[in-house]
Structure 1
């Protein structure tokens, strides 16, 4: 038996943990630069707030219903997620961290356990120890776990746990699940299946696997087999290495200042390099992009990108910043107001890659030691506590707009809750 543990309204729930006054109020969490709603709690969902509408247009509606709007606090969300995953690991180390708010657990070895009661205890522990409400779906396959988890959130949120442990339950839930709500089915595939008369998960499960392989690829065949209780998708215990690492945030204030853009680009590159080292990779190419605001029809528009090939594949931050800035200088044009600058690390390889250059030498052992020290200090003291000069020390002119940001209660000493 497998289980999926899914945090309920993760971002909004993280905010409620440290702000009791938010309890009982509709909450939305905004995207980067406070652009649009990215997440809502249950009360906000009942108001049918459109995700696509810009925040400034939503404000009259939010004020009318007393909706609390908050900027995305990714530092807080990431730390709460890490705490939850550590707690889950203590209950069952046979797990896959699927996303920031989801994890799969494999209970095949728990032969003599009452898994419903055991997972209820997991749920109680997470709620009591961290404050995060979770929903848990149990089934024999990942796809059925997702079906069970959806049922929990729709019909038995207070109980929080549901197990598809009989054939009758499996058939009943498949009949209740629209095709669009099946894990792995997007809007295009859903529309295509609807045209074929397939409206529910149950009807999809009746399709012959051979037909699915020919018409829906191997992914569709696996999905159908999983819906019928045949496990085809194993747990992934190690996170997949990314083929591309990128950062291209919009500026809080649009700018035409080359120096500010250079500082932003160096900062984004440094963060990407840290992620690169974390997955034990090196980078062979960097791509830099610049873009104006395409929605401002009164201003001149400009979009461009350039790809720079590195002399030697590396994860050395100063080298990556050097090539990124070189690319920015090549495509930057005066007379435009820029919305964003971005960096993309490409041609990623394992750090054991031995590619050399006859004309360029790199002391990789020395650079690796230096980067290891810098990463450790920044982990202990906070992101960018130790930084490179090209990143600058003031980011007010370009940093992401977060006018409704809450404190980093768990990762910053100055933000700890004080009890008087």
Structure 2
């Protein structure tokens, strides 16, 4: 079966734009500190462990992803590399600002990740798509200070390729449209197969055996529908069709609710006592509860795991965990903390060095679909629901932990120095989410 893609493309009035923030974490740091422009920046993982994000200048210094901070500390000083601890509240808020800006510029978007989004573009409304792409780029930078690249194409897969090309090739200045563009095939010939959206390493190896090595080679397989189904299944067939400009993936209206919520952190220092471990567990439960309520869900099961040092006893056990089933699913933080305290106490091992704790919520269902139990003392009542909603609103408006539960230890004056807290020695200010960190004009 041969598809007449030319006729389809002539009828289509919808194109897809992929908007991707350039070096997003580093750009967030620069938005509030212009002196960092043009300088190499690296962002570290939790506990200042290893490099998880780099600016272009840092990439030019051949700093690898995952580089341990302690091994590269001298190198960073010698090359004047700016080091920052991961500041997720700042990055999350800046992401929301970028997405809200995009919603002002187009009628329909799909948030794909913290720094990427797809948007629908009407070719009937915008005759010059590249000009519209430049308008998106300039507006996002003007309103948020975050530089972006824009790729526009008849399908989402081609839009990803257009975005990647616009970002890497300075000729396009960050904007490229592949709609009715004669350079499409040349770009696909220069695009390695493993860089195509949805084609992983294993599939790349398998297709290379059939002399399919570039995106263009895969595009030509559209005439061999049976071969594609045999070697790539239905998902692979969609990718082939999308490479030919036939859209098979529409925009998603909303992100799917998570079926499991995990909150896990390394301790700032190894812990031997139960009290600080329970404070950490209570804090992780509070954060997991916020995520749970944000998607209007409740959980029926919670699992708590305490993780020791596997190298202390190479043949022994180093993970200790337990679970609790709620008879009626809940999102009431005090109920979950009470269960978490009991679990952590039961699995705690004296004279053991613990390095990490993890809280996992499962059995997640929408709050509106909960089957209530008249005689259950753990019932998630309307009063509890409104209380949790009120606390979440306070923390959203005035900053995280403005209202916190005593079990987390946040009420202590020295809570910031608690030894279970993550190491964040290079943390920048939370300019948009903390009142005390809001920028003010200096007066002489």
Q: How high is the TM-score relative to the length of structure 2?
A: 0.90
Tell me, yes or no, if the aligned pair for 1:209 and 1:224 is still in contact at 8 Å.
no
Per-residue CA deviation, residues 116-171 of structure 1 (Å, 9 max, x unaligned), is 11121111111122211100000011110000011011113762110001263321
CA contact (8 A) 2:308 2:353 kept: yes
Aligned residues: 420
Partner of residue 165, structure 1: 179
Structure 1 runs not aligned, ≥5 long: none
Moved more, 304-313 or 337-346: 304-313
- TM-superposed deviation, 1:220: 1.5
CA distance in 2, matches of 1:184, 1:401: 36
Show the counterpart of 1:189. Answer: 203
Q: Which position in structure 1 is the counterpart of 2:408?
A: 391
Aligned counterpart, 2:439: 417
Q: Is 2:279 the counterpart of 1:263?
A: yes
2:395 & 2:358 partners in 1: Cα distance? 22
Q: d(CA) in 2 for partners of 1:44 and 1:138? A: 28
Corresponding position of 1:401: 423
Deviation at 1:215?
A: 2.6
**CA 1:192–1:254 in structure 2 vs 1: closer, same or farther (change >3 Å)?**
farther
Q: 2: CA distance between counterparts of 1:82 and 1:156?
A: 28
CA distance in 1, matches of 2:135, 2:375: 62
SS at match of 1:193: helix
Whether the aligned pair in 1 keeps the contact of 2:329 and 2:380 (CA below 8 Å) is no
Tell whether 2:309 aligns with 1:309.
Answer: no
The match for 1:37 is: 51
Q: Which blocks of at least 5 consecutive residues in structure 2 are unaligned?
A: 1-14
Q: What is the CA deviation profile of residues 373-392 of structure 1, one whole-angstrom value per residue up to 9, with x for unaligned ones?
A: 11111111111211111111
Question: Partner of 2:351 in structure 1?
Answer: 335
Checking the alignment, whether the CA contact within 8 Å between 2:330 and 2:380 is kept in structure 1 is no
SS at match of 1:349: strand
Distance in 2 (CA, whole Å) between partners of 1:414 and 1:328 is: 34
Q: 162-171 or 173-182: which moved more?
A: 162-171
CA distance in 1, matches of 2:130, 2:162: 12
Relative to 1, partners in 2 of residues 1:171 and 1:363: Cα closer, same or farther, differing over 3 Å?
closer
Q: Provide the residue aligned with 2:138 in structure 1.
A: 124
**2:6 counterpart residue number:** none
In the alignment, what sits opposite 2:7?
Answer: none
Equivalent positions of 1:12-161 (< 5 A) are: 12-108=26-122, 110-156=124-170, 159-161=173-175
What SS does the corresponding residue of 1:248 show, helix, strand or coil? strand
Q: What is residue 321 of structure 1 aligned with on the other side?
A: 337
Aligned to 2:295: 279
- From the superposition, tell whether residues 294 and 166 of structure 1 become closer, same or farther in structure 2 (CA, over 3 Å): farther
Alignment of 1:160-309 (within 5 A): 160-166=174-180, 168-207=182-221, 208-294=224-310, 302-309=318-325
Q: Equivalent residue of 2:252, what SS?
A: coil
After superposition, the Cα gap between the structure-2 partners of 1:288 and 1:363, relative to the gap in structure 1 and judged at 3 Å, is closer
Residue 282 of structure 1: SS of its match in structure 2?
A: strand
- Alpha-carbon RMSD: 1.9
TM-score (norm 1): 0.95
